[in-house]
A and B are shown apart, each in its own frame.
Chain A
């Protein structure tokens, strides 16, 4: 069904977004250099509390929090700008999990739950994570084997979620569990009895995630986000934001790889000239540029649709994630290859982005997964 809502010609990109980009660049490029990233990724927590505090000060944690709860309630286009800049520097903060939880709470939580969690999130005092994926369901968030079993006034959650982004540092967990009415979403403190979070060893050492085991964790009706059995419809509205945000981050990372590899091609001399003069080197870089530019267009188009024409949001956001996944993978592969021997070393920063690309393409649906859904929309109508 086609909505009559219109995506604005300027993509909803104005002075506010330009300012946000300038400030984000300034903060990130001074306080998140690759030597910092390398240092933080070797620590158990994987991030720096000082930088987290500065992100909170800059208002980034409250970026999508409603004004009533202490946030600045900015648009999806603004969020895409911030994510793109974060992706450029491989920002290793547990931002994504908290963002995800914020979006879910904002979308569907009761006023009491919002008031309970969102102000703390906006201030940077509460970190959160959303546990959806299970071993068998994978990226299909409607496939939920974890259960919510009623026992009088109490509800007992049992099951196992995996690859829960930013779970190891989260104080608040949102999880899906199935009730007789279908899968529902619940909010619970990570410190609740019966919750175990086991940190993952990920391909990308700048990211953290964990497996979350729920063994008869006690919650109540008040902890449910939205109606019973409403998880799929809530997530159906939230996921386009997640796909678009991640795609924006990926475009930022791919763009940085293009910059690094282009610069290297200008200075590295072989056969008496810079290797960038050889078309075998030049042409893949041009192809990468083309893909990045196309990915970026899809990201901002999806973001604008989310803000202004929700009927088109799911398709465009899936397109953005699918395209960015392929683009980042291509960027990573070409960057290692064109750097030659040095590109294959631990010392070369390309490896950090390469691994981020590997993680990102497999998170929240890879290109083939999204294309399958896009085919349904494009072919079956």
Chain B
């Protein structure tokens, strides 16, 4: 959020991004837009958002750190973050193919064959092909490695059977990054493989689920004797767990290389809270004059700045010498908990108006924070719960014994 941090290299990009998002801010589509990529529930929303991502990519603002050969711009690390900051600043809609951009894409880029990179990456950026993620199962949540969906090799095919859940955007996805067990006799982490799975295959059925917000967006996916070519395998058989850990690191913002630059540093939450505080009243005066509310906002302003400063510090080897991996490992935990707290404070600022639901005519800020607060739990649960994150950090960074 701070242009004074720019280098000469990123300044030009920031200016282009700022001008583009200013000139091309989409007009109101006339229907409700989802708040994040997790809540896309209708085809109407999906098509509109896909057109928006296409437009952003067309402007040369997406995948800027990816190699030119695969549709990127080959710019230095940190460049995409500049675009992300300008998007947050402009308050424009999100990029719908998030799972392709930040999870599948970087994993393929890291370990895919040349053919796989050519085949998939450009279409992820342009949103011509949308991705979903098939990791969690009804019986395998935090304990992901106990997954039971199977893929059995049969000639030049695999036959997939099983059941995935919490599958965001499965309704529209062209591909899924799929974890399936290829060797049931191996130890649980060793028997898993990672597939680039075509969703339009015969035998795949998708059943929408409804979230606590009343919105759709995620689904269950059932696989019944689905035959897919053996070339769908990413890396080798049994490499699935290692690749899953890699994807999760991208998902949690712990590794560089995502196409949207989203990680620790988002920014813009406090500005939104300040604007709200000036609009709503407490005791007949603007909430922005209430001493307690001011303290809450200041506390969040400090935390937001600390997150931004941490994203920058993580890139300075001398300043992370003692625990080089601490910030990357903490990123998801601290950023999602900050978002949750900010949304809670947003509702607090509203006073009695916080009783209105999202979309109510009399709500303050359209009830944004009521919905944002509910949705914030999607982030503290999805991609490894905050509790799993704390276990990981405790064991990997502090070296504490495993909790069994």
Sorting the interface of chain B by its residue count into under 10, 10 to 19, 20 to 34 or 35 or more gives 35 or more
Cβ of B341 within 8 Å of any chain A Cβ, yes or no, is no
* 23 pairs of residues in contact across A and B, judged by CB atoms under 8 Å: A3-B4, A6-B4, A9-B7, A13-B318, A14-B318, A266-B400, A273-B401, A277-B402, A282-B403, A290-B333, A294-B309, A294-B310, A297-B310, A297-B312, A298-B302, A298-B305, A300-B313, A312-B4, A319-B302, A319-B305, A322-B298, A323-B303, A375-B294
Contacting pair A274 B401 (CB below 8 A):
yes
Q: Give chain A nearest CB distance to B339 CB in angstroms.
A: 15
Specify which chain B residues have a CB less than 8 angstroms from the CB of A297 in the assembled complex: 306, 309-310, 312-313
Stretch from B63-71, B195-203, B386-394 forming part of the interface with A = B386-394
Interface residues in B283-308 (C-beta closer than 8 Å to A): 288, 294-295, 297-299, 301-303, 305-307
Specify which chain A residues have a CB less than 8 angstroms from the CB of B393 in the assembled complex: 286, 289-290
Contacting pair A279 B309 (CB below 8 A):
no
- Interface residues of A, Cβ cutoff 8 Å to B: 2-7, 9-11, 13-14, 17-18, 262, 265-266, 273-274, 276-279, 282-283, 285-287, 289-290, 293-298, 300-301, 309, 312, 316, 319, 322-323, 368, 371-372, 374-375, 378-379
Contacting pair B390 A6 (CB below 8 A):
no
Contacting pair B309 A300 (CB below 8 A):
yes
Cβ of B334 within 8 Å of any chain A Cβ, yes or no, is yes
Closest to B303 in A: A294
Contacting pair B294 A379 (CB below 8 A):
yes
Answer whether A301 and B309 are a contact pair too, CB < 8 Å, given A323-B302, A368-B295.
yes
Cβ of B327 within 8 Å of any chain A Cβ, yes or no, is yes
Contacting pair B5 A276 (CB below 8 A):
no
Contacting pair A285 B398 (CB below 8 A):
yes
Specify which chain A residues have a CB less than 8 angstroms from the CB of B312 in the assembled complex: 9, 11, 297, 301
Select which of B298, B390, B398 is within 8 A of A371 by beta carbon.
Answer: B298
Instruction: Say whether chain B's binding surface is mostly helix, strand, loop, or mixed.
Output: helix
A371 to B297, CA, bound (A): 9
Specify which chain B residues have a CB less than 8 angstroms from the CB of A18 in the assembled complex: 318, 321
Contacting pair B301 A294 (CB below 8 A):
no
Interface residues in B362-404 (C-beta closer than 8 Å to A): 387, 390-391, 393-394, 397-404
4 smallest beta-carbon distances between A and B, as pairs:
A297-B309, A371-B298, A276-B400, A294-B306
Specify which chain B residues have a CB less than 8 angstroms from the CB of A3 in the assembled complex: 4
Select which of A9, A266, A290 is within 8 A of B330 by beta carbon.
Answer: A290
Q: Give chain B nearest CB distance to A330 CB in angstroms.
A: 14
Answer whether A316 and B305 are a contact pair too, CB < 8 Å, given A13-B319, A290-B330, A378-B274.
yes
Select which of B303, B315, B319 is within 8 A of A300 by beta carbon.
Answer: B319
Specify which chain B residues have a CB less than 8 angstroms from the CB of A282 in the assembled complex: 390-391, 394, 398, 400, 403
Select which of B319, B387, B399 is within 8 A of A266 by beta carbon.
Answer: B399
Contacting pair A371 B302 (CB below 8 A):
yes
A2 to B333, CA, bound (A): 32
A230 to B330, CA, bound (A): 45
A300 to B320, CA, bound (A): 11
Contacting pair B5 A5 (CB below 8 A):
no
Answer whether A286 and B398 are a contact pair too, CB < 8 Å, given A297-B310, A323-B302.
yes
Select which of A11, A279, A286, A287 is within 8 A of B313 by beta carbon.
Answer: A11
Specify which chain B residues have a CB less than 8 angstroms from the CB of A294 in the assembled complex: 303, 306-307, 309-310, 334
Specify which chain A residues have a CB less than 8 angstroms from the CB of B318 in the assembled complex: 10, 13-14, 17-18
Specify which chain A residues have a CB less than 8 angstroms from the CB of B301 in the assembled complex: 319, 374-375, 378
Cβ of B277 within 8 Å of any chain A Cβ, yes or no, is yes
Answer whether A285 and B274 are a contact pair too, CB < 8 Å, given A262-B399, A293-B310, A371-B298.
no
Contacting pair B5 A7 (CB below 8 A):
yes
Q: Give chain B nearest CB distance to A339 CB in angstroms.
A: 15
Q: Give chain B nearest CB distance to A302 CB in angstroms.
A: 9
